[in-house]
Amino acid sequence: MSVCTIRCHAVPTGAYSGHPVLGELSQSHVFVSSSSGKTWGCLGRSLKNFPNGAPSAFEALAEDEWVGAIAGSNGAAGIILRENGVCHQSANRMLIPTGRTVDMADGNELAIMMFGLYGPNKEEVVKLVTDAAQRANELASECVTQEDLDSVLARITRNGCDEYEILKTILRKGFLSMWMPFQSRHRAS
Name every residue whose Cβ is closer than 8 Å to that of residue 177 and which is 6 or more positions away in sequence: none
Q: How far apart are CA 25 and CA 99, in angstroms?
A: 27
CA gap 187, 189 in Å, rounded: 5
Mutual orientation of helices 122-139 and 87-95 as an angle, nearest 10°?
50
| Tens digit of pLDDT at every position of the chain (189 positions) | 589 999 999 988 764 555 555 566 778 889 999 999 999 998 888 888 887 888 899 999 999 999 999 999 999 999 999 899 999 999 999 999 999 999 989 888 888 888 989 998 899 999 999 999 999 999 998 899 999 999 999 989 876 666 666 666 666 666 555 444 544 544 555
The C-alpha atoms of residue 94 and residue 74 are separated, in whole angstroms, by: 12
pTM: predicted TM-score of the whole model, two decimal places: 0.82
